[in-house]
Amino acid sequence: MSEYLSLEGRTAIVTGGARGIGKAIAETLGARGAKVVVVDLIMDLAEEAANEIATNHGVETAALEADVSDQASVKAMVKAAIAKFGQIDILINNAGITRDGLIMRMKEADWDMVLDINLKGAFNCSQALARPMMKQRYGRIINISSVSGVAGQAGQTNYSSSKAGLLGFTKALAKEVGSRGITVNAVAPGFIETVLTHELPEEIKEMSIKLTPMGRFGTPQDIANAVAFLAAEESSFITGVTLQVDGGMVM
Ligand code: NAP
């Protein structure tokens, strides 16, 4: 019998996998035995991450460049990944950005960019992999949303909309592809210590901890653990759900 939650024999694409939460996810999937494709905009960091995973866990890895908001770039990346690994079993739509601001001051470009990367990016990657996953009758698609998409966050109308949109996208796609052995789920992190949150004012950070029953910020590893669970064979009857990994911040 294979090890519980083993990903041996599987290949995963992790977008935004060069750093932060994406890197922890890529590393954790590699540690469970998956071959890993680290997709990002900046290639030197992505290559570093891919090499680290290969060295630490003895799995095959690759670093591929793609802007998830650009359909042609995503199609080329998926083609290259399939050419190298033959089959992609797991897609983690993790790449995401913030461009915060109150609505009165939010620039149209900041609205568009956040929706294009966070929401359309997941559409582009999922669409590029939908046919091959349906053909192989196996797939795991995991969308990294946010508690801001579940509860809403002042100053983040663009980001909250993109992350709430991902939850609807997750459920709709889960219904479309379930009969082909593909599950689609979302993970909604709370406040996680990464570059994305590092710059926030101290008072916001303190307030976030107060609102979190577990009394601490999350780590990228907390998110990676949840993703690895949903990515495994054993989670084959879980689809369309949002797994909040937020220390109880939103309930
Ligand atoms: P991060 O440290 O900023 O990492 C995001 C990664 O995505 C970076 O490597 C970035 O590349 C890449 N990326 C950005 N735009 C891209 C694009 N168009 N195409 C491909 N890659 C792109 O962020 P993080 O904190 O790890 O967040 C990861 C995910 O978790 C995001 O979806 C975020 O919304 C979500 N999340 C984070 C938190 C948190 O507290 N940190 C909470 C809830 C949800 P560059 O280095 O080139 O920018």
Summarised one tens digit per residue, pLDDT across range 58-111 is 999 999 999 999 999 999 999 999 999 999 999 999 999 999 999 999 999 999
Give catalytic residues, as residue numbers. Answer: 159
Note the pLDDT of residue 127: 98
Which residues on adjacent β-strands are paired with residue 101? 156
If you average pLDDT over residues 37-50, what whole number do you get? 98
Residues 140, 91 contacting (CB under 8 angstroms): yes
CA distance 86 to 143: 23
Residue with CA closest to ligand 1 atom 19: 67
Distance from Cα 153 to the centre of ligand 1, integer Å: 18
Q: How confident is the model at residue 172 (pLDDT cuts 50, 70, 90)?
A: very high
Give the C-alpha distances (Å, rounded to integers) separating 233 from 28, 29, 142, 227: 15, 13, 14, 12
Q: How confident is the model at residue 1 (pLDDT cuts 50, 70, 90)?
A: low
Mutate to test the pocket of ligand 1, among 97, 120, 125, 169 (most ligand atoms within 8 A of CB): 97
Nearest to 160 by CA among 223, 230, 226, 102: 102
Q: Which atom of ligand 1 is nearest to the CA of 118?
A: 32
Residues 145, 169 contacting (CB under 8 angstroms): no
Residues 141, 94 contacting (CB under 8 angstroms): no
CA distance 129 to 216: 36
CA distance 27 to 32: 9
Fold classified for 11-191+220-238: Rossmann fold (3.40.50)
CA distance 97 to 117: 7
For 191-242, what is each residue's pLDDT tens digit?
Answer: 999 887 888 889 989 998 999 999 999 999 999 999 999 999 999 999 999 9
Provide the residue type at 234 as one letter: E
In this prediction the pTM is 0.98
Q: What is the dihedral of CA 27, 21, 42, 202, to 10 degrees?
A: -140
Calculate the average pLDDT of the chain: 97
Mutate to test the pocket of ligand 1, among 194, 242, 246 (most ligand atoms within 8 A of CB): 194
Q: Tokens representing 209?
A: 């901890």
Distance from Cα 40 to the centre of ligand 1, integer Å: 10
Q: Is ligand 1 within 6 A of the CB of residue 192? A: yes
Distance from Cα 161 to the centre of ligand 1, integer Å: 16
Note the pLDDT of residue 122: 99
Q: Is ligand 1 within 6 A of the CB of residue 196? A: yes
Q: How many CB atoms lie within 10 A of CB 79?
A: 12
Note the pLDDT of residue 97: 97
Q: What is the DSSP letter of 191?
A: S
Q: Which residue has the tokens 């469970």?
A: 32
Q: Which atom of ligand 1 is nearest to the CA of 147?
A: 43
Q: Which atom of ligand 1 is nearest to the CA of 195?
A: 2
What radius of gyration, in Å, describes the C-alpha atoms of the chain? 17
Question: Each residue of 167-206: b (16+ CB within 10 Å) or e?
Answer: bebbbebbeebeeeebbbbbbbbbbbbbeebeeeeeeeee
Q: What is the DSSP letter of 201?
A: -
